[in-house]
Amino acid sequence: MLVEYIMHRVANFPHPHEFFEDAANYIESGLVGKAGYGIDNRPVFIGSFSRAGDLLSQWRAYGSYAIEFDTDYIPQELSACVYEHDEKLNQASNAALLSLIAISKDMAVNNGFLDQEGYGAFSDIVGLVATLKHESFSEEQEIRIVLGHDIDPEIEDGLEVKFRSRGNILVPYVEADLPFESIRAIHVGPMRDQELAYISMKALVEKMHLERPITVQNHNHKIEVVKSTIPYRAP
């Protein structure tokens, strides 16, 4: 969607900058290159959260426990996913024009190459693309941490990439620090013996409070334990 809009802008802009088309080609090649993953290709990493705290499809997909975070204590920038077509188009069109102008001006100053201004404009585009999601997933109400989109391996050190196994494949990932005080609650999903799971989790959380008490804004930080209200049906 974004590449198509950029090409539309280039073809129909009334007074294009001399590097307008070069800027469009740079954005297109960069975004198309991101369609496949590559460690050397400025990879982007996503941390996914959900505003839907007690949604049956989420429990079925991801497991029986969920951690609730307080966004006030998360240091990374959080971006809401965009699902609705018109809103995607609106955000893509605004970002495309701003990036085209910034990148073309940067190329003009630097003899066809990019400096910090141009790289920043392109990273903004990549960060936006990382929040556009198919409308069929809208019930998830997803919020994302996006990392790596603003790092260019050619001019600075990239993120430290690690790997974990999932089935028969290796999954690349990076670690991001979330402070302990950002944890607001542990939710226990619909399951067999939910009451027993709830009691056990409360005991664990109380043990954690005793072992590492934390004061936040002059108050003791306490993690709640919450039971899902969705009834469990045995398979």
Give the integer Cα–Cα distance in Å for 2 and 17.
Answer: 20
Cα 151 to its chain centre, rounded Å, is 15
| pLDDT tens by residue, 172-229 | 899 999 999 999 999 999 999 999 999 999 999 999 999 888 887 767 889 999 999 9
Give the integer Cα–Cα distance in Å for 215 and 70.
Answer: 15
pLDDT at 92: 86
pLDDT at 37: 47
CA separation, residue 132 to residues 14, 137, 146, 207 (Å): 29, 11, 12, 41
Mean pLDDT of 115-130: 88
Residue predicted with more confidence, 207 or 4: 207
Mean pLDDT of 128-136: 93
pLDDT at 142: 97
| pLDDT tens by residue, 28-73 | 887 776 555 455 556 789 999 999 999 999 999 999 999 999 999 9
Give the integer Cα–Cα distance in Å for 115 and 3.
Answer: 22
> Tokens 């944890």 belong to which residue?
183
